[in-house]
Amino acid sequence: MSELITMSEIRAKLKVGRTAGYELINRSDFPAPISISSKCLRWVESEVENWINAQKGSSRRPVRRPKYKKGVFVVNGVTFRERA
């Protein structure tokens, strides 16, 4: 039988912050939580581990942080200029 884990434990596994952790809930491919009570959600640990392993094998490339240079910034190789 798999253990139930909290969002804090999931965030620790993924090394993400609170907002990013809770944004996972809105993803269609992320495992659905089990509602313990109206304010208490838990996830099946094996389902979360399987999801993490599937993400490691995916070809999704990470979004790079924008580089900013006086009036110009670059996001994923696309250059944007500030309007005058």
What residue segments make up the domains of the chain, in order of their start?
Answer: 1-84
pTM (two decimals): 0.64
Residues 6 or more apart in contact with residue 48 via CB below 8 angstroms: 5, 10, 13, 31
Report the CATH number of the 1-84 domain.
1.10.1660
CA-based end-to-end distance of the chain: 61
For 4-49, what is each residue's pLDDT tens digit? 999 999 999 888 888 888 888 888 889 999 999 988 999 999 999 9
